[in-house]
């Protein structure tokens, strides 16, 4: 089936099998490999992207469901060489260790702050409950999201 999607502002049209998962489409067909596959069971959130501005686990959508939609992946977040404020906060707060969960964590965090711009620490933790960090580096991740919510300045 032919689908057309906008990913990071660029239009793409491809013929896909209906059973193609969105994350496989993004990685293997479009070639954007910043979105990781972690658990493959809708649990870990490594594959989180935005669909029409909301965080979604791209392993739990078929590519055909995204036909006509506006997608944003980690590659589309920065403005050229200028990091997105959330990426900058992750950098400043050392909010990554091995880095595997980071793209999904950042995408989930950006969507979370869109919905709750001034969260408490507990709200941040609940807001990121769909994302697992197997380095267990949650402390600095939460710190980074709060840092970004506070405007990002040190």
Partner 1 sequence: MIPAAFDYVRAGSAEEAIATLAAHGDEAKLLAGGHSLIPLMRFRLARPTVVVDIGRLEDLSYIRDGGDHVAIGALTRHRAVETSELVAARAGLLGEVTSHVGDPQVRHRGTIGGAVAHGDPASDIPSALIALGATLVAAGPQGTREIAVDDFFSGFLETDLGDDEMLTEVRVPAADGAGWGFEKFNRRAQDWAIVGVSAVARAGGEVGVGLVNMHSTPVRAAAVESAAASGASAAEAAELAAEGCEPTEDLNATVEYRQHLARVLTRRALEAAGL
Using CB under 8 A, list all residues that contact partner 1.
1, 17-21, 24, 40-43, 45, 48, 51, 54-57, 59-62, 64-65, 108, 111-112, 115, 126-127, 129-131
Nearest approach in angstroms of CB 4 to partner 1 is 14
Q: What's the closest the beta carbon of residue 142 comes to partner 1, in angstroms?
A: 13
DSSP tag of 134: T
What is the C-alpha to C-alpha distance for residues 50 and 111, in angstroms, rounded to an integer? Answer: 8
* 13 vs 154, beta carbon nearer partner 1: 13
Nearer to partner 1, 68 or 80 (CB): 68
Q: 85, 154 in Cβ contact below 8 A?
A: no
Nearer to partner 1, 52 or 91 (CB): 52
Return the H-helix or E-strand segment holding 22. Answer: helix 22-24
CA 27 to CA 22: how far, in whole Å? 9
């Amino acid at each position: 089936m032919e689908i057309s999607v906008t990913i990071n502002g660029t239009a793409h049209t491809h013929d896909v099998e209906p059973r193609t998962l969105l994350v496989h489409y993004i990685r293997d067909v479009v070639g954007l490999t910043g979105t990781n596959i972690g658990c493959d069971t809708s649990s870990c959130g490594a594959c989180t992207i935005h669909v029409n501005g909301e965080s979604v686990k791209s392993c739990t959508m078929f590519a055909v469901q995204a036909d006509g939609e506006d997608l944003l992946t980690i590659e589309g977040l920065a403005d050229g060489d200028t990091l997105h404020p959330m990426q900058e906060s992750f950098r400043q707060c050392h909010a990554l260790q091995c880095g595997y969960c980071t793209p999904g964590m950042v995408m989930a965090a950006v969507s979370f702050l869109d919905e709750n711009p001034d969260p408490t620490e507990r709200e941040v933790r609940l807001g990121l409950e769909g994302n697992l960090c197997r380095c267990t580096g949650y402390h600095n991740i939460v710190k980074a999201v709060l840092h970004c919510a506070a405007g990002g300045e040190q």
